[in-house]
Structure 1
Amino acid sequence: MYSGLLIILIPLIVGYLLPKNAALITMVNKVLSWMVYIILFFMGISLAFLDNLVHNLLSIVQYCLVSAACILLCNLLALRLLENRRPWQHNHRLEVLPSRLQMALESLKLCGVVVLGFVTGLSHWGPLSYASTASEYALLFLLFLVGVQLRGSGMTLKQIVLNRRGMIVAFMVFMSALVGGVIAALMLNLPLRTGLAMASGFGWYSLSGIMMSGAFGPVIGSAAFFNDLLRELMAIMFIPALISRHRSTALGLCGATSMDFTLPVLQRSGGMEIVPAAIVHGFILSLLAPVLIAFFAA
């Protein structure tokens, strides 16, 4: 499991080790925006190929919505408490604040790309079955580009690897998610270990869907998949609105994906100075996710 984490970090490090080049940085900034859409499209295709999507659909929707609501609500309350006690001081300021309508349209555009991928995947055309693999390679390339951006920003490795704010936010997300998992299990009349396992994906839908299906069956596994996928989509939608005044909440909402998929969204909205905290936050939750799911599923 942890070899996958190493694979995630390697392209980031390789990109960081490249020498600074202004022309390269300019090109990377343009390509990064397109990579977000490409990965979302592949995500939608993969969703269409998910097993047991139609069978027991109502149970899947119920488990997904209740667990997601409980977990995210507990996360948001904990992160709000953190912001009240320990405000995040930062220097980043958006030059032009987008309107709420613009942010809503941007979010709808991103969700629309997922829907387009899903509709395309329903054709079950043979080559589309490789969408999951293609999205993994696209993600690695995206991480390489983020590494190049980090190098261009002038940040040191110490700033990137050790970040106290990232650790604190990860701890708050971890603890509050487990509380939310317990509440969801009680509301859904599920064993506590099932609720705790569903809460332990932290947005890593590809991992939680596979592990939960093997341990609890396809219905719970699919619900876990959609639960974590919903978290990622909500992070994409709400990061631009939260990042200025509720920085810890914007980061915590990303869960484990702040180290990879939602990292460019965080960087684009919050500036390069949020990247070290995002990497540490995502790395800690990515380490915890497989261990906790395996523990509660044992």
Structure 2
Amino acid sequence: MYSGFLIVIVPLVLGYLVALKQQKNIHWVNVATSKMVYVILFLMGISLSHLDNLAQNIQNIGLYSVTVLACVSAANLLALWGLDKRLSKTVEGEGELLSKWHLILESVQLIFVIAAGFIIGLFISPELIDIDTISEGALVLLLLFIGCQLRNSGLQLREILLNSWGIKIALVMMTSSWIGGLVAALLLDIPLSNGLALASGFGWYSLSGILITDGLSPVFGGAAFMIDLGRELLAILIIPSLIRLYPSTAIGYAGATAMDFTLPMIQKSGGNGYVPLAIVSGFILSLSSPLFISLFLAL
């Protein structure tokens, strides 16, 4: 039952043990991670094309995606807004408006990678390729790179522990996501553990879809990808308008992407003062996401 959990934990820990000192090696790992994401999403597309009852499964992906995203987003925004009201904190600094469209296009292009894999998979017989074994091997390699990235992100444990605001954002984000996931599971009449796993991506679409495809099925994996991609697109839209009045809400809803993909928008819209906060909360959520997804899948 816990083999899937070990497949995630072992390479993640091994990667985290690798300390890189030369900048060129860190750059190579970052590039390799990015490329592996595209490879695995392409393989996910092929897996989807080999499903039986394809039309019904695509309908299920849409239903799961919309329901879980709506429930989790509502829970996140309400809980994070409450945190903002309780803390009443802001950071001094002038932000500026940043064009959202290039970030949105970067996210949407991942859908085209899956679509390309899906189309090509229609012309490949499932007997000719063991897609599950290939995907699992690619996943292990990706997790090694991700562990290495987290170790060499430049963030020290002391910096995380001293940033209580960032920790609170991450904890509220996680807890409210699980509440939303449980509500969605009840509405969809699926196992509660599946709802919790779908809610534990925390916006990390490039990993959640891969892990859940491997642990459950391409249908749930496709739904996880769409849920977390939808979160990121919504975060891009709301960060500029919310960050100055409700910083916990804006940064928290960005989830794991606050430390990388949406960080430039947080910095430009809110100012440099919010960067450490975004990195701390994003780091905690990035480290937690694969651990909790694999844990809930093992239940």
Name the TM-score, length of structure 1 as normaliser: 0.67
The whole-number CA distance in structure 2 between the counterparts of 1:81 and 1:53 is 43
Tell me the percent identity.
20
**Superposed CA offset, 1:259-285 (max 9, x none):** xx8854255655773333322233345
| Aligned twin of 1:108 | 108
Measure how far apart 1:49 and its partner are.
1.0
Cα distance change, pair 55–278 in 1 and its aligned pair in 2 (3 A): same
SS in 1 for 2:98: coil
Q: Say if 2:209 and 2:225, in contact at 8 Å, map to a contact too.
A: yes
Cα contact 1:170–1:252 (8 A) shared by 2: yes
- Alignment match, 1:18: 20
Query: Offset of 1:39 from its aligned partner?
Result: 0.7
Q: Which moved further from structure 2: 241-250 or 201-210?
A: 241-250
Change beyond 3 A, Cα 1:131–1:3: closer
Partner of 1:62: 63
1:47 aligns with 2:33: no
- What whole-Å deviation, never above 9, does each CA across 1:103-134 have from its counterpart, x for those lacking one? 33333334333333433444437568324522
- 1:107-166 per-residue CA deviation (whole Å, 9 max, x = no partner) reads 33343333334334444375683245224414432543454342xxxx433224675345
Change (3 A) 1:120 1:269: farther
Match of 2:176 in 1: 176
Q: Does 1:280 align with 2:284?
A: yes
Q: Which one of the candidate residues 182, 195, 200 is aligned to 1:198?
A: 195
Kindly report which structure 2 residues correspond to 1:120-269, keeping only aligned pairs within 5 A, or say none: 120-124=120-124, 126=128, 129=131, 130-145=134-149, 147-150=151-154, 155-160=155-160, 163-188=163-188, 190=189, 194-195=191-192, 197-201=194-198, 202-203=200-201, 204-211=208-215, 213=216, 221-242=217-238, 245=243, 248-249=248-249, 252-253=252-253, 258=256, 264-266=260-262
Amino acid at match of 1:175: T
Residues 19-42 of structure 1: per-residue CA shift (max 9 Å, x gap): 3x4x538x72x8736743541342
Summarize the Cα distance change of 1:100–1:61 in structure 2 as closer, same or farther, 3 Å threshold: closer
SS at match of 1:114: helix
Q: Distance in 2 between matches of 1:10 and 1:185?
A: 33
Q: How does 1:67-106 map to 2 (within 5 A)?
A: 67-86=68-87, 89=90, 97-106=97-106
Shift in Å at residue 101 of structure 1? 3.0
Deviations 1:179-206 (A, max 9, x none): 3244434544x26xx2463133312344
Change (3 A) 1:87 1:278: farther
Q: Quick one: structure 1 residues 9 and 267, their matched pair in 2 at CA, closer, same or farther if it must change by over 3 Å?
A: farther
1:208-249 superposed Cα distances (whole Å, 9 cap, x missing partner) = 4455x4xxxxxxx55532332123323443454455616544
* One-letter code aligned to 1:11: G
CA RMSD of aligned residues (A): 4.0
Q: Is the 8 A contact 1:200 1:289 kept in 2?
A: yes
Output the CA distance in 1 between the equivalents of 2:157 and 2:262: 19
Alpha-carbon spacing, 1:43–1:247, altered in 2? closer, same or farther (3 Å): farther
Residue pair 1:13, 1:147 contacting (<8 A) in 2 also: yes
Q: Within 2, Cα distance between the matches of 1:37 and 1:91? A: 38
- What residue in structure 1 maps to residue 271 of structure 2? none
Q: Secondary structure at the match of 1:265?
A: coil
Alpha-carbon contact 1:48-1:118 (below 8 Å) kept: yes
Distance across 2 between alignment mates of 1:164 and 1:2 = 31
Provide the residue aligned with 2:118 in structure 1: 118
Q: Is the 8 A contact 2:8 2:140 kept in 1?
A: no
Q: Which amino acid aligns with 2:77?
A: L
2:204 equivalent in structure 1: none
CA distance in 1, matches of 2:112, 2:292: 31
> C-alpha displacement at 1:46, in angstroms?
1.8
Amino acid at match of 2:112: G
TM-score by length of 2: 0.67
Task: Give the gaps of 5 or more residues in structure 1.
Answer: 214-220
- Maintained 8 Å contact 2:12/2:146: no
Cα distance in 2 between the residues matched to 1:12 and 1:92: 34
